[in-house]
Amino acid sequence: MHIIQGGREPLIIPDLNKNDLTKHMELTKGWGGGSLIGIPIISKTGKKFGTLCGMDDRSFDFQEKDVLLFRRMAALLTYILEVDNAHQEVLKLSTPIVLVSARVGILPIIGDINAKRSDQMMETILLESKRLDLEHLVIDLSGITDIEQYAATYLMSIVKTLKLLGVEIVFCGMRPDLAKKAIFMYSELKQATFCSNLRSGLSSIGCNVISK
């Protein structure tokens, strides 16, 4: 098999002892030789994720079928990473903080709050609150489809964490049916400020909305 090195093509070294890239490496000396195949993992947009490597402590004459197998595995990993990246971007977009006045932001939460999403939301909220230099963040809960004990714990963690950064939280817009379910969470949520709707939430921090 011909050795191809660099760029988007495979790196194939049938004998580590005979290749200029590897013959002086400590790993090669420790193994006493061996072989290597590396397939770059690159997205369709050209983003490099890394390299899928296969190594053996013996010399090996890689055949076309071996290279094809590694190419297929690299393609599968590339697809998985691209899907994960796309999912992360969706999560970021699902946590938009809208600046309504100097140092006052609104965060509408839509859908369910699960463990993975809550971690992403927390990270985004912290970064955006710092970037926008917020003093107040009004969180609109009217778009939440369901609320469980975990959601209450998460909401309070937002309050406590942002308070350390000097950001005060106001919740608003909880639907009546969810409010009934949230009664059992009162002990965790009683320290938070709740308002009936977005207008009253903004008014509570002195940010009045003028109706047309």
Domains of the chain in sequence order: 11-87 (no CATH), 94-203 (3.30.750.24)
Contact residues for 179 (Cβ-Cβ < 8 A; gap 6+): none
Per-residue pLDDT, averaged over 124-136, amounts to 89
More confident site: 178 or 141: 141
Report helix, strand or coil for 101: strand
Model pTM above 0.75? no
Decide if pLDDT at 167 tops 80. Answer: yes
Please say if the pLDDT value at position 3 is more than 50: no
> CA-based Rg of the chain, rounded to a whole angstrom?
27
How does the average pLDDT of the chain come out, rounded?
Answer: 80
Amino acid at 3: I
- Which strand (E) or helix (H) includes residue 39? strand 35-42
The pLDDT of residue 5: 46
- Banded model confidence at residue 135, pLDDT cuts 50, 70, 90: very high
